[in-house]
Chains A and B, each alone.
Chain A
Amino acid sequence: MDKLVIAGTRKSAGKTTIFTGLGKALGKKVAYMKPFGDRLIYRKKRLWDYDAALLTNIFGLEESPEDITIGFEHAKLRYVYDEERVKEKLHEIANNVGKNKEMLFVEGGRDLAYGVSVYLDAISVAHYLDGKLVLVVGGNDDNIVDDITLFKKYVDVSNVDFAGVIINKVHDIEDFKNTYVEKIKEMGVNVIGIIPYVPELSYFTMDYLSETLFAKVIAGEAGLNSVVKNIFVGAMSSNEALRNPMFNKDSKLLITSGDRSDMILSGLETNTAGIILTNNILPPSNIISKASEKNIPLLLVSSNTYQVASQLEKMEALLTKDNAEKVSMIEKLIADHVDVKLL
């Protein structure tokens, strides 16, 4: 069974997305594991990684997501495992999940260094499992080239089969190809694929938001599948908001306090995907009814407006298992832009 370890140079490089697309593009029976989890879900005393849960679902795997991650937190891993135990555990999981499969996908941590002190960084994992290492690099063009150059210059991959890089989220592919690809190849790095930036992949739904923010949905449940494309913080009078071009962009998410009836009504009357009501303040019932009528979700959170805006700023639009449209989009992207033969 071939083993493919994908590492990212930075957080959110797109490893999970690439696995999602590769699963179909390769046309093989695939298995999946993520030794060092970084998107923890803890429910009913069970721990599993979000990406692990997503991909077991997308690939139709039988394993429980809890069983394909060793741990999430350094202190716990140090307490339970030493290097030998880590190796043993990696092999144990690989053997379990890899039965009757042709290829094992192994997802590395959020960046190259993540987990190195507990023997679970991507390079160590690739070494222990004797797998092929692929590096995913994303960001702006300068970051991409810097990361690849740093990796090539200073990282020792002599004990690992390094297959090359997949460059992700590139805004202008032609320009990038013309400017940088030759230089990268001259460094002796294989360019396995260059994937363009697709804005639709960064959108999230109101349903996703309600889960992420632990929000209570108080109206408009039918609209929870609405996609958010813009965000507007309603911190001015509704008259001023209506004059603001950002307020009138489509599929906006409006963030405002629950007692701002004027702002909420303005949101309900314009193109709004959903409204986050902050400070745990419920609006009047006639406004809740209006939102229900229009199927515009109202999400109630206890944090204040600033806290919510900050959280959204840092939030990633993770893929969800129900989003078949996004999954198809990703499969096509990988098929069109990644030379899977090199894997």
Chain B
Amino acid sequence: MKSSNSDIKALFEPKSVAVVGASSQPGKIGYSVTRNILQGGFKGKVYPINPKGGAILGMDAYKSVGDIGGSIDVASICVPAKFTFDAVKECADAGVKHVQIITSGFSEVGENELENKIVDYAKSKGTRILGPNIFGVFSSSGNFNSTFSATDVLRGNVAILTQSGALGIAMIGKTAVEKMGLSAIVSLGNKADVDEADCLEYIVQDKETNVVLMYIEGVKNGEKFIEAVREASKVKPIVVLKSGRSARGAMAAASHTGSLAGADEIFDAVAKQSGLLRAESLEEAFNWCKFLAYAPMPKGRNSVIVTNGGGIGVMATDACEKYGVDLYDDQIVLKEVFEPATPDFGSTKNPVDITGGAQASDYDLALSAPTKSDEMDSTLALYCETATFDSENLAPMIRDTYSKHMASGKPVTYAIVGGESVEGAITELRRKNIPVFPDVYEAVSCMGALYRYQKMLKERDESVAEVDVDLKTIDKIIDGAIADNRTFLLSTEGQDVMDSAGIIIPGAGIGKNIEECINLAEEIGYPVVMKVVSRDILHKSDAGGVALDILNKEEVIDAYEAIMTNCRVYKEDAVIEGIEVTEMVQKGVELIVGARQDPQLGPIVMCGLGGIYVEVMKDVTFRAAKLNRKEATEMLSEIRSYPLLLGVRGEEKRDIDIVVDTIIKVANIIRKVPRITDIEINPVVVYEQGKGLKAVDVRILISK
């Protein structure tokens, strides 16, 4: 998966760059790219390429890349689409390491064939392709700006990887206004070759980068993506903004970049699992990035709110619950720490209310207190404009208390609400990267993101739960099904797969006639369940192909009759292999455990509330299938119906451990058997602790 670090580094810190399609005419992309490279302080060699030759921005232009003669790290292609393949070919033949294709008109408009041709040729020569359909790359470490952005890029500590060109260019402008400097910005475009996984490898190691922001619409190679973000998030916080969440959004993403947005709840789950911080909006993403770039990591989870208004204090409390910020509650310590700063009619409970009469000096006292206390780890400072406050001291007070927090290694955010003077203070302070917000939820959400990141780092477990699965047996079963021209396994085959992984299934057999069914029922022991076995009937219940709670021989005969008759009516030409006779499992809590090869994210495992209403209740959670026991336990605990497993209304606790084992086993199957595309075990009937579970019905789909 990994590109070599030194290779990808050349994209960000090239020593030489060629601009194919360079131009001396202002307004042309080839001009802007060349100009930005020069004005960006690039110290390496720049080769403008134009078949007409001549002089471009004070340099002699080469007529072709082949004329250069030396090694070239990066070539930026600015020629029309119809000339792009030839341009890439020239570059690849000349041994260029990275080609950035600015040009659009490829897979985003359906020209997949041309795009694939370009990538294939480049790959054959060892050249990597960034794009097409991009605005270029900026890298502070490399003093390299190969974008065609009109705005100078303000340098700083945030790196951006963006799949949207227009949004990316707009972000350059916005970051400049917000004074949020960039260490790098990479336009990924169509991601025909180089993608975010490749770039992350370099970016998180870059000392200029403190935090990474990714805007993505779709993921092409899920397993590669997951592995890359897991590794990267260990090093630096990664904020992701992913669009295509809604059905309409997904359609827009498909037509925008030809990306499949995929099921959003799956992405969300995998993002959390991989340590990504998912923002809801561009504003939120920027807020988090600015904050995370400079905020110190808190030593603990004790937060305190200091406010001059009760209402905003309550809002902040709500926000803390929403964003997972724990509020410090030791009343004695709070009183001790804040009493000097709080009038008698105020409150030293958390939120600490220093009342509407507080002046800047009172704030200074109140906000300095947590910086000296070992009990408090972070602060949320709230201010509502009052008529009596010395507003000219607002910004100085915030600057001062912020410095104190930074000096003590404690993060702080401010939410200040008011008129013109307040708005002015916000603008002035944000330009100095002090985390001040006009809305309390914005302030708390930043702190929440920091705490989530901290928790992720602390609780991180890189282990992967491996179990022994009899792969040979499973492959043989699949070979048999494929030979039979099927893309699904029969229920007996599914049970054999379960058996190969050690997942407990009820006793079962297939009877081809009444006599065999009777014998099986008597061997397994009543009560039994009888189900039709047919490649042509997938939804057995709908076909009337299931009979439950069969207690004796006469009922076996009746059930056989009913199933055969119903199935023939349901699908006249159905090939009926026989009737499966299985043990009738006792009642328990019904769960669903499944897995699939997600077209975006690779092997995914799922668990949730099972039974016939699973598609209506949709109480399921997801994870990437490369998971450990802790992650499997967490995903189970996240289902809304989890309390049923803990025992409700006097019922015993269920065997949660074995459910976790089953999730891990299913995850192992989907990872190790790529020909299996979908597994669904529904219901998994779970019994009391120590009494295990039974995988009652298994559906497995395969691909040829």
Interface residues of A (CB under 8 A from B): 40, 42, 45, 47, 71-73, 75-76, 79-80, 214, 259, 280, 282, 302-303
Provided the pairs A45-B547, A79-B515, A282-B616 are in contact, do residues A73 and B565 lie with their beta carbons within 8 angstroms? yes
Query: Nearest-CB distance from B542 to chain A (Å)?
Result: 5
Closest 5 A/B residue pairs (Cβ)? A42-B562, A76-B561, A73-B561, A40-B565, A72-B565
Nearest chain A CB to B535 CB, angstrom units? 16
A75 to chain B: which residues have CB within 8 Å?
513-514, 560-561, 564
> What's the least CB distance linking A10 to chain B, in Å?
15
| Residue contact B539 to A259, C-beta cutoff 8 Å | no
Given the interface contacts A303-B539, A303-B542, does A45 sit within 8 Å of B555 by beta carbon?
yes
How distant is the Cα of A73 from the Cα of B539 in the complex, in angstroms? 22
Tell which of A45, A280, A282, A302 has the most Cβ of chain B within 10 Å: A45
The verdict on B702 contacting chain A, using a C-beta distance below 8 Å, is: no
Q: Which residues of A contact B652 (CB under 8 A)?
A: none
Contact status A73-B542, CB under 8 Å: no
Q: How many A-B residue pairs have CB under 8 A?
A: 54
**Cβ of A71 to closest chain B Cβ, rounded Å:** 6
**A288→B631 CA distance, assembly (Å):** 38
Smallest beta-carbon distance B562→chain A, Å:
4
| Pairs across A and B, CB under 8 Å, 6 listed | A40-B569, A42-B547, A45-B555, A259-B247, A282-B616, A303-B542
Contacts of A71 in B (CB 8 A): 561
Residues of chain A within 8 A (CB-CB) of B566 are 40, 42
Q: Does B557 count as interface, using CB distance less than 8 angstroms?
A: yes
Q: A75-B514, A75-B561 are in contact. List 6 more A-B contacts (CB 8 A).
A: A40-B569, A73-B564, A76-B557, A80-B557, A214-B542, A302-B539
Asked whether B264 is an interface residue with its Cβ less than 8 Å from the other chain, the reply is no
Q: Which of A47, A280, A282, A303 meets B562, CB within 8 Å?
A: A47
Cα–Cα, bound, A42→B247 (Å)? 41
Q: How far is the CB of B605 from chain A (nearest CB, A)?
A: 22
Complex-state Cα separation, A71 to B565, whole angstroms: 10
Query: How near does chain A come to B252, taking the closest CB pair, in angstroms?
Result: 16
CA distance A71 to B550 in the complex (A): 18
Whether A47 touches B513, Cβ cut-off 8 Å, given contacts A40-B565, A72-B565, A73-B564, is no
Give the shortest distance, in Å, between A190 (CB) and chain B (any CB). 34
Interface string of B551-568 (1 = CB under 8 A from A): 000010111111011100
Chain A nearest CB from B487 CB (Å) reads 16
Q: A75–B514 Cα gap in the complex (Å)?
A: 7
- Among B257-294, those with CB < 8 Å from A are none
Residue of A nearest to B247 (CB): A259
Known A-B contacts A40-B566, A73-B564, A302-B542; the reply to A79 vs B514 at CB < 8 A is yes
Q: How many Å lie between the Cα of A72 and that of B547 in the bound state? A: 16
Does B54 count as interface, using CB distance less than 8 angstroms?
no
Taking a contact as CB atoms under 8 Å apart, the answer to whether A40 and B562 are in contact is yes
A73 to B, closest residue via Cβ: B561
Write the nearest CB–CB distance from A276 to chain B, whole angstroms.
14
Cβ of B178 under 8 Å from chain A: no
**Chain A: CB-nearest residue to B615:** A280
* Residue in contact with B558 in the complex, picked from A47, A214, A280, CB distance below 8 Å: A47
Q: Specify which chain A residues have a CB less than 8 angstroms from the CB of B561 in the assembled complex.
A: 40, 47, 71-73, 75-76
Residue among B555, B557, B565 having the largest count of chain A Cβ atoms under 10 Å: B565
| Chain A: CB-nearest residue to B569 | A40
Within 8 A of A (CB), among B105-161: none
Residues of A within 8 A of B547 (CB): 42, 45
Instruction: Give the distance in Å from the alpha carbon of A47 to the alpha carbon of B513 in the complex.
Output: 19
Contact B544 A42 (CB under 8 A): yes
Give the shortest distance, in Å, between A219 (CB) and chain B (any CB): 14
Within 8 A of A (CB), among B524-583: 539, 541-542, 544, 547, 549-550, 555, 557-562, 564-566, 569
Nearest chain B residue, comparing its CB with the CB of A78: B514
Other-chain residue from B549, B550, B555, B560 in contact with A73 (beta carbon distance below 8 A): B560
Separation of A57 and B547 alpha carbons in the complex (Å): 26
For the complex, give the distance between the alpha carbons of A72 and B564 in Å: 9
Contacts of A259 in B (CB 8 A): 247
In the assembled complex, the CB of B175 is this many whole angstroms from the nearest CB of chain A, namely: 38
Give chain B interface residues in 226-274, CB to chain A under 8 Å: 247
Question: How many angstroms between the C-alpha atoms of A259 and B247 in the bound complex?
Answer: 10
Inter-chain contacts of A40 with B (CB < 8 A): 544, 561-562, 565-566, 569
Across the interface, which residues of B come within 8 angstroms of A73, CB to CB? Answer: 560-561, 564-565
Chain A residues whose C-beta falls within 8 Å of the C-beta of B544 in the assembled complex: 40, 42
In chain B, positions 508-528 with a C-beta closer than 8 Å to chain A are 513-515
Nearest residue (CB) in B for A279 is: B615
B residues in contact with A47, CB < 8 Å: 558, 561-562
Report how far A72 CA is from B569 CA in the complex, Å. Answer: 12
Using a CB-CB cutoff of 8 Å, which residues 595-631 of chain B contact chain A? 615-616
**Which residue of B is nearest A39, CB measured?**
B569
Q: Quick one: closest A residue to B541, CB to CB? A: A214
List B contacts of A280 (CB < 8 A): 615
CA distance A71 to B544 in the complex (A): 17
Q: Per a CB cutoff under 8 Å, which of A45, A72, A302, A303 touches B549?
A: A45
Alpha-carbon distance between A303 and B544 when the two chains are bound, in angstroms: 14
Residues of B within 8 A of A302 (CB): 539, 542, 615
What is the CB-to-nearest-CB distance from B675 to chain A, in angstroms, rounded to a whole number? 25
Q: Cβ of B539: which chain A residues have Cβ within 8 Å of it?
A: 302-303
* Docked pose: A259 CA to B248 CA in angstroms: 12
> Shortest distance in angstroms between B575's beta carbon and chain A's nearest beta carbon?
16
Residues in chain A near residue B541, CB distance under 8 A: 214
Contact residues in B for A214 (Cβ distance below 8 Å):
541-542
Across the interface, which residues of B come within 8 angstroms of A303, CB to CB?
A: 539, 542
Q: In the bound complex, how far is the Cα of B566 from the Cα of A259, in angstroms?
A: 30
Q: Please measure, in the bound complex, the distance between the C-alpha atom of A79 and the C-alpha atom of B555, giving whole angstroms.
A: 14
Of chain A, the residue at the smallest CB distance from B549 is A45
CA separation between A139 and B51, bound complex, in Å?
Answer: 81
Chain B residues within an 8 Å CB radius of A42: 544, 547, 558-559, 562, 566
Write the chain A residue with the least CB distance to B616: A282
CA distance A162 to B515 in the complex (A): 39
With a CB–CB cut-off of 8 A, which chain A residues contact B559?
A: 42, 45
Q: Which of A71, A73, A282, A303 has the most CB of B within 10 A?
A: A73
Return chain A residues, CB-CB under 8 Å to B549: 45
Query: Known interface pairs A79-B557, A302-B542, A303-B539. Does A72 touch B562 (Cβ–Cβ under 8 Å)?
Result: yes
Residues from chain A with a CB closer than 8 A to the CB of B550 are 45
CB distance from B247 to the nearest CB of A (A): 7
CB of B692, distance to nearest CB on chain A (Å): 28
Instruction: Tell me whether A76 and B514 are in contact in the complex, defined as CB-CB below 8 angstroms, given that A42-B566, A71-B561 are known contacts.
Output: yes
Closest Cβ of chain B: how far from A53's Cβ, in Å? 15
Chain A residues near B615 (CB, 8 Å)?
280, 302
Given contacts A76-B514, A79-B515, A303-B542, contact A45 B616 (CB under 8 A): no
Chain B residues 30-55 with CB under 8 Å of chain A are: none
CB distance from A14 to the nearest CB of B (A): 19
Contact B558 A45 (CB under 8 A): yes
Distance between A258 CB and nearest chain B CB, rounded to angstroms: 11
Determine whether the beta carbon of B560 is less than 8 Å from that of A76: yes
**Min distance, Cβ A206 to any Cβ of chain B, angstroms:** 18
B521 to chain A, nearest CB (A): 14
Q: When chains A and B are docked, how far (Å) is the Cα of A73 from the Cα of B560?
A: 9
Measured between beta carbons, the chain B residues less than 8 angstroms from A79 are 514-515, 557
A79 CA to B564 CA in the complex, in Å?
14
Q: How far does the alpha carbon of A80 sit from the alpha carbon of B518 in the complex, in Å?
A: 13
Candidate in A40, A47, A214 with the most chain B CB atoms within 10 angstroms: A40
Q: Which residues of B contact A76 (CB under 8 A)?
A: 514, 557-558, 560-561, 564
Shortest CB distance A197–B (Å): 25
In angstroms, Cα B561 to Cα A303, docked, is 25
